[in-house]
Structure 1
Amino acid sequence: MNRQISRWTLAVAVAATLAGPVRAQTPEPETPSVSGNTTVHLIRLLVEQGVITEVQAQGLLDQARRDALAEQRRQPQVQEGDVRVPYIPETVREGIREEVKEEVMAQARRENWAAPNTVPDWTSRITLSGDVRVRNESRFLADDNSDLIVDFQEWNEDKYDVRLDDDTLPPLLNTRKDRENLMRIRARFGLEAELGKQWSAGVRLATGSSDSPVSTTQTLGGGLSKKDIWLDRAHIRWTPGAWSFTAGRADNPFVSTDILYSDELAFDGVSAAWRGTGMARGGGFFGTLGAFPLEYLSDDFPSDEQNKTESEDKWLFGAQLGVNWRFTDQNSLLAAVAYYDFDNIRGQGSQQCFLYLDYQTCDTDWSAPAFMQKGNTVFLLRDIALEPGNEAATAQPQLVGLASEFQLLDINLRWDTSLFRDYQLRMAANYVHNLAYDEDEMLEHSEGQIYNNFDFNGELESGSDAWMLQAAFGEGLDLKRSGDWQMFLGYKYIEPDALPDGFNDSTFHLGGTNAKGYFLGGAYAFTDRLSTRGRWLSAEEVYGQPFAIDVLQLELNARF
């Protein structure tokens, strides 16, 4: 506080000194100089205290020397014993006063010593953010779609009974009846706190109709009932220099698109990101490593047996290298290559289990995925023993698991260029290949229990590749300023086992894999923080039974 007061004192003193004449105590030398007067000392003290810069101080000294020389030329020859009063013009004094005042007040506001204790200290370390989206969504399904598309997520939740003499159908998706004008909302509120040098923490809450990992959107209605709030983010971050280490539940640390990871997907685990510099025009190389637990086996599995199963956990390991190259002032290229290993997510066939003896689980039930959308090849996990003498009536509640392993190569390219009249063009491409895909090995591993993705001849019909092309044109493609706008167009192609179907965009073909089609739309910013967007997405199956879905979305987006 003493130092703050001294700064004010110095600022006032120099302003007062410059406001009026300064009387020399001894005769001046022949060459005009201001090095020994009180004004110079005050200016130097202001520099030492950080109130003004060296450049500003030198400007004041130079002006004083010029004024002193002009005054000397106007005055008669100074004789020994004379006392001289230098003159500083009023305009100069006024300019100096205003400049010093602005510098001092700016520093006072930054350091909170102009009016101390009026704002709590913690508020300077907290950053709040949030957004609200209101969307009208319509889903149009073709009349000739197959009406036998199984909902495997619900199948696993209900443990569907597959007895051959049971006429009950498995859980089926709606494939033919439109859903029009669904009013939907998304609200997110986040907090970021500075914890000291290089450390921070973040928390975010969000809406959501369920605990689905790929969407925080919630459909309105429900008898006007209140809506759910979920913990969407919770992380601690350490940022020493070019590195950033994050632990907890955080944003996607990789450069990717929504054919692989939904824009709303959070990553539980740890990641390390490096952002290099050194390239011309601010570009540089970057890299990311991450380890993310997908599922932990329950401590007491199986709960109805004495012998418990050892740890069978599922993980995602990822590594990415890339470059952000700005090769001219109007052109930049982002290129990234990544490898993702989805460890232990493949289904495992069980040993024979005797559910008719009132056991509730089989030994590999843990290998059923926690969340699925649709598209991946699946097989029956349980080898259920039939009750002797009552084979036809023996219940056979089944679970399904993924038939393929997933080790993904992911390549992303994005080119941005500035055109005439501040217009911008962005071209993007993404290619994903499942290096672990092997049809023969999938059939062998499942022991003939694959349930879906067969053609009419009984041959497995799947694939290991996915790709996307997209172009956007407009003014201010990030929609950060009032009047910014964009138009976009793209095409996606996702084979059934190119990637896990549980983590990608939930809107295109209503989520999952085994989908191809186009999307287009536009967006406009009404203000710096309010924009509108419209999208049309048209998709159909790559293989198998006909299944075409069109989606129309019209929305308002607000951020704060």
Structure 2
Amino acid sequence: MNHPANSRRHAQPARKTHALAAATAIALLGASGAGYAQSAAPADSTMVKLIRGLMQSGALKKDAGEALLAQAQTEAMAQQQAQRLASASATAAGGMRVEPGDVRVPYISDTVRDQIRDEVKGQVMAQAQAEGWAAPNETPEWTKRIRIEGDVRVRDESRFYSSNNSDIAIDWAAINQSSGFDVNPNTNLSLPPLVNTRQNRVSLLRARARFGVLADISDSTHAGIRIATGNDDSPVSTNQTLGGGLAKKNVWLDQGWLSYKPAEWVNLTAGRFGNPFVSSDLLFSNDLNFDGLAAQFDKALPNRDVALFGTLGLVPLEYSSDSFPSRSQNKASSEKKWLLGAQIGASWKLNNDNRLRGALAYYDFRNVSGQVSQPCALYAGADGCSTDWSRPAFMQKGNTLMLLRNIALNPLDPAGTPQPQYVGLASKFQLLDLNFRWETKVAGSLGLRMDANYIRNLAYDEGGMFSRANGGIVNNFGGSGGTSRADFKSGGNAYMFQATLGKPVTLARGDWNMLLGYKRIEPDAMPDGYNDSTFHLGGTNARGYYVGGSYALDKNTWVTGRWTSTKEVYGPPLAIDILQVEINTRF
């Protein structure tokens, strides 16, 4: 059975040969004058048959073919009548007789012959250009609709920790990814997993590589696939730390999407795609991709200096396991965590030197908060607790956390009952996001861009968190060591300011920029799992500044350096400084 692609490849030369042969036949036949050829007597003249054949093959348009057919039939009839008269005259005069089986080839005028030649030539050339064989080195048409893109970055990163930092920083993410941590001191004397807070890490060589294929299916439909490196399946970083005994590195599916534009001003996207919202890395990391559905709107107003834009997003964050609990005949009901996002904004060109852009967004993180379980008798062999699903699939650090399991004690040995716990987010998250940008020129033609971002968690409620946790809050207490509500410190606000001087994107050789910025992120201003993984090494409960710059060594190749200095907002001291020097290229 022939593959469709092979059939198309064979069909193109066949159509080419057929069309060229037809054109040659018309030219040769049209060039001949009136005469006779010895052949079997046809019902129609040879010219009539040829025109009909060209019409059936599509090499000759129907309207032009019918006109030529009528003319050819008329001329054939006239020639036949003239032939009979000439034959009779010749017989009477003793001249040459027309024998049975002789065929009279009608005469075609120069005008008609030129019209046929031009028509066929136009049809053949149009077909050749459409199918990609008009020129010897022409590529097939479908290859013109496929594009590739990618980038490579090599970074040297150093992390510097203050010697005054607290040496007890629990790795809550590691607890959630394991079988839990036993909080009963009678059955567990070991410490929970801890993150490094005092030992510097100098000259970590890291690389990032991304490769994508984009397809223009039609003017309205597009699709794309991208793969990327990464140490793990973290949603906020595609960095790969080098070393590891020179072992091969991981590659992940970074994007896979399709989009459709029902109108010029709206674009619908489904799959896994880049951030569809106008935002900064205060909330969403630049490496973060979104799963689900997004609708983007962009409409310029009649004066063309103002454009309105907007986005609606439906993002599934996590589904509970279909087989939970795995060792129980009674399975738990399905639980889903969602992000519902809506944004509206406008961009305004004031003049050639000044542009403004503003956006207002609302993000509703549904069902992401932790829930205390029903009593679960783990000592009796229960396979997990009812709300184990509510622990976050990915977290960095900073959010207020609560214990999830209501573990029943063994009545025969209550003090000796192990109590392995998971943690979940104590707060709810409904975010109001204000984003502003001003682009202008200073010192003549030097570009200056000012960015500001403010985020407020409208669902932040300290009393609600303590009520939801039922006394199980485990972090974000002051540095005094107390764990009562009076010692609790958190907040629901975050903001950022950033100034960029020079070319924001350094693509041409000699382009450069310098930037300076400041961020403050209170512990429960947002979920800590989705923002920039460099600032304070990711998460919330952080404040500090960053400074850096870039210079383009060549086309699409540039070097960048950045220094970031951060501290905690509340709680035990945690100061982290980070130096990054890197070279980037894109294609």
TM range (shorter): 0.7 to 0.9
Tell whether 2:463 aligns with 1:440: yes
Alignment of 1:410-429 (within 5 A): 410-429=433-452
Aligned-pair distance for 1:360?
2.5
Q: What do residues 517-551 of structure 1 show as CA deviations (whole Å, max 9, x unaligned)?
A: 00001100111210010000000000000000000
Aligned-pair distance for 1:282?
4.5
Aligned to 1:350: 373
Q: What do residues 23-80 of structure 1 show as CA deviations (whole Å, max 9, x unaligned)?
A: xxxxxxxxxxxxxxxxxxxxxxxxxxxxxxxxxxxxxxxxxxxxxxxxxxxxxxxxxx
TM-score by length of 2: 0.76
Aligned-pair distance for 1:422?
2.5
Aligned to 2:42: none
For the Cα contact (< 8 Å) 2:132–2:141, is it kept in 1? no
Aligned to 2:496: 468
The percentage of counterpart residues that share the same residue type is: 54
Aligned to 1:484: 511
2:546 paired residue among 495, 511, 519: 519
Q: CA separation in 2, counterparts of 1:291 and 1:310? A: 22
2:182 is matched by which residue type in structure 1? Answer: D
Aligned-pair distance for 1:389?
2.1
Q: Which runs of 4+ in 1 moved over 6 A?
A: 108-111
Q: CA separation in 2, counterparts of 1:185 and 1:136? A: 9
Aligned-pair distance for 1:189?
0.0
Aligned to 2:114: none
Q: CA separation in 1, counterparts of 2:302 and 2:496? A: 29
2:214 paired residue among 192, 208, 218: 192
1:181 paired residue among 194, 200, 203: 203
Corresponding pairs, count: 459
1:503 is matched by which residue type in structure 2? Answer: Y
Aligned-pair distance for 1:155?
1.2
SS state of the match for residue 176, structure 1?
Answer: coil
SS state of the match for residue 276, structure 1?
Answer: strand
1:509 paired residue among 516, 533, 536: 536
Tell whether 2:173 aligns with 1:145: no
For the Cα contact (< 8 Å) 1:439–1:460, is it kept in 2? no
For the Cα contact (< 8 Å) 2:561–2:579, is it kept in 1? yes
Aligned to 2:477: 454
Q: CA separation in 1, counterparts of 2:509 and 2:134? A: 34
Q: CA separation in 2, counterparts of 1:360 and 1:162? A: 18
Q: CA separation in 2, counterparts of 1:335 and 1:237? A: 25
Q: CA separation in 2, counterparts of 1:138 and 1:283? A: 44
Aligned to 2:177: 157
Q: CA separation in 1, counterparts of 2:131 and 2:347? A: 36
Aligned-pair distance for 1:472?
0.6
Aligned-pair distance for 1:129?
0.2
2:554 is matched by which residue type in structure 1? Answer: T
Aligned-pair distance for 1:421?
4.3
SS state of the match for residue 463, structure 2?
Answer: helix
1:207 paired residue among 226, 229, 232: 229
Aligned-pair distance for 1:112?
4.7
1:210 is matched by which residue type in structure 2? Answer: D
Aligned to 2:140: 120
Q: CA separation in 2, counterparts of 1:360 and 1:211? A: 26
Output the aligned Cα RMSD.
2.0
Aligned-pair distance for 1:391?
2.2
Q: Where in structure 2 are there 5+ consecutive unaligned residues?
A: 1-14, 24-124
For the Cα contact (< 8 Å) 1:281–1:328, is it kept in 2? no
Aligned to 2:559: 532
Q: CA separation in 1, counterparts of 2:397 and 2:435? A: 24
Q: What do residues 193-228 of structure 1 show as CA deviations (whole Å, max 9, x unaligned)?
A: 011230011000000000000000010000000100
1:537 is matched by which residue type in structure 2? Answer: T
Q: CA separation in 1, counterparts of 2:519 and 2:204? A: 25
TM-score by length of 1: 0.79
Aligned-pair distance for 1:429?
0.2
- The alpha-carbon distance between structure 1 residues 486 and 111, as it changes in their structure 2 partners (threshold 3 A), is farther
Aligned-pair distance for 1:395?
1.6
Comparing 448-457 with 516-525, which one deviates more in the overlay? 448-457
Q: CA separation in 2, counterparts of 1:119 and 1:253? A: 34
Aligned-pair distance for 1:111?
8.7
Aligned to 1:407: 430
Aligned-pair distance for 1:392?
2.7
For the Cα contact (< 8 Å) 1:162–1:398, is it kept in 2? yes
Q: CA separation in 1, counterparts of 2:400 and 2:201? A: 27
Q: What do residues 323-345 of structure 1 show as CA deviations (whole Å, max 9, x unaligned)?
A: 01111111000100000000000
For the Cα contact (< 8 Å) 1:252–1:266, is it kept in 2? yes
1:298 is matched by which residue type in structure 2? Answer: S
- The alpha-carbon distance between structure 1 residues 419 and 113, as it changes in their structure 2 partners (threshold 3 A), is farther
2:324 paired residue among 295, 298, 301: 301
Aligned-pair distance for 1:483?
0.7
Comparing 271-280 with 129-138, which one deviates more in the overlay? 271-280
Q: Where in structure 1 are there 5+ consecutive unaligned residues?
A: 10-104
1:547 paired residue among 574, 578, 581: 574
Q: CA separation in 2, counterparts of 1:473 and 1:281? A: 27
- The alpha-carbon distance between structure 1 residues 116 and 288, as it changes in their structure 2 partners (threshold 3 A), is farther
SS state of the match for residue 327, structure 1?
Answer: strand
Tell whether 2:243 aligns with 1:221: yes
SS state of the match for residue 374, structure 1?
Answer: coil
Alignment of 1:17-416 (within 5 A): 112=132, 114-115=134-135, 118-158=138-178, 159-165=180-186, 166-240=188-262, 241-278=264-301, 280-416=303-439
Aligned-pair distance for 1:404?
0.2
- The alpha-carbon distance between structure 1 residues 110 and 337, as it changes in their structure 2 partners (threshold 3 A), is farther
Q: CA separation in 2, counterparts of 1:279 and 1:287? A: 18
Aligned-pair distance for 1:394?
1.7
Q: Rg bigger for which structure? A: 2
For the Cα contact (< 8 Å) 1:481–1:527, is it kept in 2? yes
SS state of the match for residue 304, structure 1?
Answer: coil
For the Cα contact (< 8 Å) 1:280–1:326, is it kept in 2? no
Q: What do residues 443-474 of structure 1 show as CA deviations (whole Å, max 9, x unaligned)?
A: 11110100001123532210000000000101
- The alpha-carbon distance between structure 1 residues 485 and 111, as it changes in their structure 2 partners (threshold 3 A), is farther
Aligned to 1:64: none
